[in-house]
Structures are given as structure tokens and as C-alpha cells.
Structure 1
Amino acid sequence: MSFFIISFLVLVAVCVGLYFYSRKSGTKIEGSSDPGFVYFRNLYLVVYLLGMAGDWLQGPYVYALYEHYKLSKRDIEFLFVAGFGASMLFGTVVGSFSDKFGRQRNCILYGIIYSLSCLTKHSSNFWVLLLGRLLGGTATSILWSGFETWLIHEHHSRGYSDRLLEEIFSWATIGNSIVAIVCGVAAQYAVDLFGFVAPFDMALIILVIMTVIVWLKWPENYGDASADLKKNFSDALTTVRTDRRVLCLGVVQSLFEGSMYCFVLEWTPALTPSAASTMSSGHAGKIPHGYIFAAYMVSLMIGGQLFSFCCNRSKPESFMRWVFGLSSVCLVQPALMRSDSLIPITFVGFLVFECCVGLFWPAIGTMRSKYVPDSIRATIMNLFRIPLNLVVVIILTQNFPIVFIFKCCVFFLIICCGIQFYLERLTRDEAPVESADGQTAEKSTEDDRKEFQGIA
């Protein structure tokens, strides 16, 4: 049995142990058993996880489908760059529609656009596939902003506490990991039985179901429906420029997620031995990708469970300082050198990094709910996806050595750690301010505005 499989089994045991420990000793959050909240939480989680399932089903087989259609490596790389480019350009605009036209409508738009993207996979024509990548890139921008903005507004409008919101984010991270594993297995069976297009047809069905549930069950909510899109972008840029809390969160989001995407692109070559080894356990010169991916997802689940423990003792603004510091240490080894003998150490670092990612997702959502204004929340979130997608496009288009890429990741994560220390100091003695419409937001002081206007 290889080191990778043993690691996966150990992680499963740890995850199960944490789950039962949390049920036995965890402090119950006030209001968490309220029937109204339970219905609201479950309704959101069902829709969100269906939306994520539609994405997870497609991911493992996009490249394989393009190869099946006999596309050249250059064409495949161009299609991937086009997807991230569409997310950076079109997705920023479309994802921001929710502030003016409604968050529920934006999530419905996600289901429609991504479903159309799935349909294009039935064609082997390059231009049809390119259209699919553009649609898919645009849809993912909505996925990473539209659902969260609807949740935060609806959560606060119903009068639920911030601790209950933290619980929803934690369950969303854990559930997303389970969905990823299930979708990976289901996609493999679908390909074996029906061919490479089958996972995309499964995703299409799930996305249609999700869209119908959103249409029937989710109430509509808005940011500033009276403002035009130009004003929304102007207000978002002004907020980023004048509110140090929002700026810090945005930079942290861009750099950490940029490092995460670089990791996703590079973990396979980092763990693949240059020759056959005992670690591969029969996979001559290769690695068991399925077990490794499953191990990453279990690590993500562990991070989601640890988030609840951390929140019982501290605020995300505080404990995320150490999470970012630890995540930078996790990637130091592949940033220094690559050696077959060091692959076990590299893999352990990657597992801990995934655990940090599991802590990051609910933490960043919780902090955004406090400090990003509700009226332009989606616009601001999508603005900070521009540098994130730019980082990925540069990585995809340049033939950087793997060691250099991981050095960039470590550098980005160290910056995240420093910024988080600054953010914790900024917010140490501050409490969220309730706005007139009941939304929780953190207001900048006049001194902050003057200081940033002077810098600008």
C-alpha cells in the first residue's frame, strides 16, 4: 500500500474522530436548532452544493474531452486561458449584476449559462468549444460571488446572528468536500459507461434542478437596485480605496486564491516521481490521482471542522494570521528543490495546505459579511477576482519552472499573513455597525478616507 493511500486512510480517521468529538463536546450555538433557521440553512446548502456539483462534475474531464476531440496541446491551452480570461473580463461585469438586478436572478443566470456551456461539449468544433469556455468562465464568477451575497443579505434580513452565519459557511465547506469526492467517483463511472461527454450531461441535469429550486424557493434580494452599473463600479472602487478593511480582505482573497489555483495546476508534477518507485505502489512512474484528490478533500473537510473550533475561541481576523503563516510554510519545500526522496514531505505539506484552505473559505466569507457593504458586495467581490484570474493566466501562458511557481506562492502567502496581522490590528477594538436596513457592515472612519485619498 502506497504512502498516498495510507495518508488518505489516516485523514479519514482523523476527520471522523473530529466529527464525533465536535458533536460530543461542542458548544451549541444559540438559535441553531430554531426550525426557521434550520430550514433556511438547509435550503441554502442544497442549492449551493448542487451548484458546486455542477462545477465539480466537469472539472476532471475537460482536458480529457479536448484530447478525445483530437485538439492540439496549443489549442487546449488556449481554451483554458480563454476560460480564465472570460472570468476576469465578462465575469466581473455579469457577476456584479446581482447588486442591481437581484441575487436570486443572478444565481438563475449561473444555472442557465453553465448549462449552455455543458451543451457545447457535444461538439468537437473548436469555436463551439471556445464559446463553451467563455460561458463557463463567466458562470464561475457568479458561482463564487452570487450565492454568498444572497446568503449574507438574507441571513441578516431575517435577524440571525453572525455565529449562525459562521456555522453555515463551515457546513458549506464540509459539504463541498463531500460533493467533490462523490462527483469525482460519479464522473468516472459515467465516463466508463457512456463516454467523455457523460459527466457534462450529468452536470447539465443537476444545474437545471438547482435553477428550478432557486426560482421556486429563493426570495429575491438586492444591493442598491436604484443605482446604475457604472455607479456601482465607481462606489466599489471608492470603497476599496477608502476602507482599509475592504482593501485588506480583497488583497488577501486575490493572493491566497491565486496561490491556491497555482497549487491546483502544479501539484501533479510536484508529486510525480521521475522514475518508478515504491511510493507509487504499482503505478510505474505515476501516482494514484484519485486517492490524492480524495485526501485533499478530506483535509479540506478537516479544515472546515476546525473553523468551528477556532471560532469558539477567537475571531477569524485573529486566528487567520497563523493559518496564512502555516500555509506559507507548507509550500516551502517544493519552492526550494524537487526530489523524488522528498515527495512524502511535499505531500504532507500539501495536505496541511488543503486544511488551511478549508479554514480560509468560511473565514473569508465571515469577514466579508462584516466589512463589505451589502449594496455593492458582489461588485467588490468580483473586482478582486481580476488579479486572481490574471495570476492564473500568466502561469498558464508562461513556461515557468515549478520551483519558481511555488516560490511565488510562498511569497504571496507571506504577504497574506502580514496583511492579516494589519487587519487584526485595525479591527481589534471595533464592532460591526448595524446599518439602517439591518445589514451588518463596518464603516470607515473619516481619517481612513482622508488618508487613502491623500495616498491616491
Structure 2
Amino acid sequence: MDSFYIVLFGALAIGATYMEYSNHRKSATTESKLFNFSSSFLTFRNNYIVVYSLMMAGDWLQGPYVYALYSYYGYSKGDIGRLFIAGFGSSLIVGTFVGSLADKVGRKKIALVYCATYIASCVTKHWSNYHVLMLGRFFGGIATSLLFSVFESWLVAEHFSRGFEASWLGSTFSKAVFYGNGLVAIAAGVLANYLVRDMDFGPVAPFDAAIVFLTLGAGLITFTWNENHGDKTENNQQTFSASFQVAVDEIRNDTKIFLLGCMQALFEGAMYTFVFLWTPALAPTNEDIPHGFIFSTMMVACMLGSAYAGRLLAEEHKPEVYMKSVFGVSAAAMIVPVLAPFLLGSMALGNPRGLTVSGFGQLLAFCVFEMCVGMFWPSFMQMRSKYVPEEHRSTIINIFRIPLNLFVCTILYNVDAFETSSLFFMCFAFLVGAMLCMIKFENMTTVNAIV
């Protein structure tokens, strides 16, 4: 393995470890003096973090080799783009419907649906048939909608039903993201790389490993989680369409909820487009790059971001204030792939078939972007817990994902018509839009706030 990968990985890992260790020492003092967490809360929090981490392991194991697997089966960039469209399209249509049902039929039940649909998606990766792979993307799209709505909704409802303090939620969010989106993602990338490159099991092996973690998570949910709902009064008798309309009206009538939805759609639209783009950006002529290790390096950066967000939240900095800077930095990171090929050229670094100088510059920018992703998740979860009403939380979060999926489907449908740099510029524009929405949101929710 080339030394610059190790140096980059090590530097980010040291930073993330130091930040989390510092946070742990500070939070231990803060929790004992200010929060006085009960043992029942710590047990509850740890259970959720374990389950969330298993769910994320099932997702992260697939990340480094989705594009690579389709390419291994001989499909072109356009073919792969259409497979991604199927996933985002099913998330847009079916995922929104299924996720929204969680408020009515129960968040635990729909969490188990997530496990089942994602396992089904992984199983289909054993076939190179395009239609079977398309079916797998259909299941995967549904699962993605559930992952980023149902688990958060279950946590918030269960947290308050047990009588825990609202201020304690930030602790659970930041630690869940640190472990589930950080440590687990890193381990998943290393494991995926080991299974494919060292054990030579082929690019389908990470998907089989994902099935194991999803099955373990489903077992924990079945035996340790209570059921909870959003609708608890006579509104629970409403039809799905009526409940959905109520959620739409809440978004339309509350500008803060509407702006939260815009920011989520714009940021995640850029993020999911980036998931498709990072492989061809770093290996434009099929250079031999260690996908799993590069993925793990970016996840270390994500973990560093979540650790820093955890510190800000623990010190009671308002995400309503600092998130505009996060969006601004992420936009700057996405402009680098547009400029790097012209400024840095195509000279190789070390291995002539490995990463180029331009690719290394882009990798650094991608790590900065992933740091912003790590800050985004706990900060946005905290804001949603404050501004999104409990009764229709899953429904509203999934409605937020409708424009996100439309954005990504439109981009991927036209992927052959655009250069990779043009698509990165679109991501840059999305992130600038998110920053402008955040500035307006800050003006509506804070007065003379100072980070």
C-alpha cells in the first residue's frame, strides 16, 4: 500500500481519536455535573447505538463496491447510472410510502422491513443479469429511505416516552453518528477491501458480509425494542392519504420545516451524487486504486466531523448558527474536482497505474467534504428533533427525501451527457443553495447568536 494513503489515513485517524477522547473526558464531567444521566438512559442509549451501528454496517459494507461490482459485471457508466436511478426512484416512490407508514403501523415493524429489504437487495448481487440487479436496486432504494427516517423517529419517540430529558438527545445523536457513520464505516471499508483484494472473494463478498450484520441487527430489534407510533390519538384512524396531507400542510405552513426540507434535499442530493462520482473521479481511466481503503479514509474524515459536531453540541453551540459554515466548506470541497484536472494534471503518484496528482488533490477535498457530512448528521438530527412534530416525523422526513431523489435521478439519467466535472459543479451549486437556506433559517431562529 502506498505510503501517502497510510499518512492521510493516520493523520485523520489521530485527529478523530483525539477529538473523541477529548469529548469523552469533557462529556464525563459535563454529564455528571449537568445531565446526571441515569443508568436506564445509558442502557437505552447504548442499545440504540449498537443497533444503529449494525444497520449502518450493512449499508457501509456495500458502499465501496457498488459501482465496482457493476463495472466488474461489464456494464457501462450509462448502464450503472440507470441502476442507480432505479434505487433512487424506488426510494422516491415506494420508500416514501413505506417510510411514512411507520408513523401509523409502528416504527419497530418498519425497521424490520428495512432489514428484510436490504438483505433482499444484497442477495440479488450474486446475479449479473441486469434485470435482477435492477430489482436489487429497487429493494435498496426502499431500504435507504427507511434507514434515514425510521430509526431516528423511533429513537426520538422512545426517548421522550421514557421520560428522558430533551437535552440528552444530542449525546445519542453524536455518538450514534461517531460510531455508526464513523468507526463502523471505517471497519466496513477495511473489511470490504480485505474480502475483495486480500481474500480474493470477488466484489460480491462485501454484500454477503452485509447480510450477516443486518440479520444480527434484526434480531436485536425484535427482542429489545418496544413499538412506538406517531399518531396516538383519534388521528390514528385517518387514512394514509389524509395523514400524508396533514404532514404536507405542516411543511407548507411552517417556513422553518420547509427550509429544513430544502437544506436536507440539497445537501443529501450532493452527497448521494458524490457516492456515484467519487470512483470515476479518482480513477477516470480505470486506474488500480484500493477502493475499500480510500472509502475507509473518507469515513475517518466523516468520523472526525461527527466528533467535532459532538463537541459543539455538548458545548451548546447552536447548529442553527454553525451549519452555514459547514455548507460553505462542503461547497468549496466540491469545486476542487472541477478545477483539479486543469491545475494538477494527470501525473502519477508512485504506482503509474495508481492515483494521479490530480486524484490525490481530489481525495483531500473529498475528505474535507466527508468531514462536513460527519458534522451534518448529528446537527441536523438535533434540529429535526426540535422543529419537526413528533406525530408525523417519519412522514415529514420522507417527504423531505422526495426532491432529493428527484435531483439525483435527474442527474444520473443524464450522466452520459455530462462530464464528471460538470456533475461536481452541480453538487457545488446544491451546497451553495443549502448555505443560503441555512442563512435564512438562522435569521428566523436565532438572535445575536455567536458561535
Shorter chain as denominator, the TM-score bin is 0.7 to 0.9
- Shift of the 205–290 alpha-carbon distance from structure 1 to 2, 3 Å rule, reads closer
Q: Which amino acid aligns with 1:369?
A: S
Q: Which amino acid aligns with 2:391?
A: S
Q: Which amino acid aligns with 1:49?
A: S
Whether contact under 8 Å (2:89, 2:409) holds in the other structure is yes
Cα distance in 1 for partners of 2:248, 2:115 equals 28
- Shift of the 261–70 alpha-carbon distance from structure 1 to 2, 3 Å rule, reads closer
Residue 146 of structure 1 and its aligned partner are, at CA, apart by 0.6
- Shift of the 257–157 alpha-carbon distance from structure 1 to 2, 3 Å rule, reads same
After superposition, give the CA deviation of every residue in 1:394-419 in whole Å (9 maximum; x if it has no partner): 22221312232222222221221121
1:315 counterpart (309, 315, 318):
318
Cα distance in 1 for partners of 2:73, 2:8 equals 36
Alignment partner, residue 397 of structure 1:
413
Alignment partner, residue 179 of structure 1:
184
Q: Which amino acid aligns with 2:369?
A: F
Cα distance in 2 for partners of 1:52, 1:424 equals 31
Alignment partner, residue 427 of structure 1:
445
2:398 pairs with 1:382: yes
The 3-state SS of whatever aligns with 2:89 is helix
Alignment partner, residue 351 of structure 2:
none
Whether contact under 8 Å (2:267, 2:430) holds in the other structure is yes
2:215 pairs with 1:208: yes
Residue 22 of structure 1 and its aligned partner are, at CA, apart by 2.5
Q: Which amino acid aligns with 2:245?
A: S
Q: Bigger CA drift: 320-329 or 243-252?
A: 320-329
1:136 counterpart (135, 140, 152):
140
- Shift of the 400–125 alpha-carbon distance from structure 1 to 2, 3 Å rule, reads closer
Cα distance in 2 for partners of 1:22, 1:237 equals 39
Cα distance in 2 for partners of 1:406, 1:230 equals 37
Whether contact under 8 Å (1:114, 1:135) holds in the other structure is yes
Residue 207 of structure 1 and its aligned partner are, at CA, apart by 1.6
The aligned runs of 1:293-304 (5 Å cut-off) are: 293-304=295-306
After superposition, give the CA deviation of every residue in 1:111-144 in whole Å (9 maximum; x if it has no partner): 1122222233334443333222211111111111
After superposition, give the CA deviation of every residue in 1:54-74 in whole Å (9 maximum; x if it has no partner): 122223333444455555665
Q: Bigger CA drift: 227-236 or 326-335?
A: 326-335
Q: Bigger CA drift: 369-378 or 158-167?
A: 158-167
Cα distance in 1 for partners of 2:334, 2:69 equals 31
Q: Which amino acid aligns with 2:227?
A: E
Cα distance in 1 for partners of 2:82, 2:420 equals 20
The aligned runs of 1:166-245 (5 Å cut-off) are: 166-176=170-180, 177-191=182-196, 192=199, 194-224=201-231, 225-245=236-256
Residue 174 of structure 1 and its aligned partner are, at CA, apart by 1.1
Residue 259 of structure 1 and its aligned partner are, at CA, apart by 1.1
Residue 42 of structure 1 and its aligned partner are, at CA, apart by 0.9
Q: Bigger CA drift: 344-353 or 284-293?
A: 284-293
Whether contact under 8 Å (2:175, 2:310) holds in the other structure is no
Cα distance in 1 for partners of 2:203, 2:123 equals 13
Whether contact under 8 Å (2:265, 2:404) holds in the other structure is yes
Alignment partner, residue 167 of structure 2:
163
Whether contact under 8 Å (1:273, 1:286) holds in the other structure is no
Alignment partner, residue 20 of structure 1:
21
1:363 counterpart (372, 376, 379):
379
Residue 169 of structure 1 and its aligned partner are, at CA, apart by 1.0
The aligned runs of 1:32-71 (5 Å cut-off) are: 33-70=37-74
Whether contact under 8 Å (2:89, 2:405) holds in the other structure is yes
1:325 counterpart (323, 328, 347):
328
Q: Which amino acid aligns with 1:350?
A: F
Whether contact under 8 Å (2:193, 2:292) holds in the other structure is no
1:306 counterpart (294, 308, 311):
308
Q: Which amino acid aligns with 1:184?
A: G
2:118 counterpart (114, 117, 120):
114
Whether contact under 8 Å (1:254, 1:385) holds in the other structure is yes
Q: Which amino acid aligns with 1:16?
A: T
Paired residues in the alignment total 421
Whether contact under 8 Å (1:337, 1:403) holds in the other structure is no
User: Stretches of 4+ moved more than 6 A in 1?
Assistant: none
2:426 pairs with 1:408: yes
List gaps (5 residues or longer) in structure 2: 346-356
Identity rate, percent: 44
Q: Bigger CA drift: 14-23 or 43-52?
A: 14-23
Residue 92 of structure 1 and its aligned partner are, at CA, apart by 0.7
List gaps (5 residues or longer) in structure 1: 275-283, 431-456
Residue 89 of structure 1 and its aligned partner are, at CA, apart by 1.0
Alignment partner, residue 352 of structure 2:
none
Q: Which amino acid aligns with 1:156?
A: F
Cα-Cα RMSD: 2.4
- Shift of the 219–68 alpha-carbon distance from structure 1 to 2, 3 Å rule, reads same
Q: Which amino acid aligns with 2:165?
A: S
- Shift of the 190–41 alpha-carbon distance from structure 1 to 2, 3 Å rule, reads same
Residue 368 of structure 1 and its aligned partner are, at CA, apart by 0.5
Q: Bigger CA drift: 412-421 or 234-243?
A: 412-421
TM-score by length of 2: 0.86
Residue 287 of structure 1 and its aligned partner are, at CA, apart by 4.1
